[in-house]
Amino acid sequence: MQAHADRDRAVRAETDAQAQTTAAKDAWATSRRNGYAAEINVAFQALAENNLGRARDLLGRQRPKAGQEDLRGFEWRYLWQLCQGDELETFHDDRASGAAFSPDGKWFACTWGGGPRAPPR
């Protein structure tokens, strides 16, 4: 009798452990999806504020790691496309010391060793 009771308790414990494991995995997946949605929302806001670097960083964090489900959908691809500029300025000069966009995103200014000037065309 005692052996049957011990076996029944062990089976119940194993069943409970499996249920808890499943619940933990479900909670983790839900948390990951909620985090994705929140960061996509922040990426939209970053773009609205002309903060391209922040938006790219947030989108880059959503790339799945090996074995993870890819949560990226249309919204991610849309934002990623908006983050791709038509032009790229690379500083080939050690004297380049700073760069900034105007708050409205229409002007770009950069400084070289001698002070600010318009970028070369």
Same domain for 115 and 61?
no
Half-sphere exposure of 117 (CA within 13 A, CB side): 9
Q: What domain range is 42 assigned to?
A: 2-86
pTM for this entry: 0.59
> Are both 33 and 63 inside the same structural domain?
yes
**Do 65 and 117 fall into the same domain?**
no
Are 96 and 58 in the same domain? no
* Number of domains within the chain: 2
Segment (H or E) for 5: helix 2-48
Q: Write the single-letter amino acid at 39.
A: E
| 69 in the same domain as 11 | yes
pLDDT digits (tens, 9 = 90+) for 73-104: 999 999 999 988 665 555 555 666 777 788 87
pLDDT value at residue 38: 95
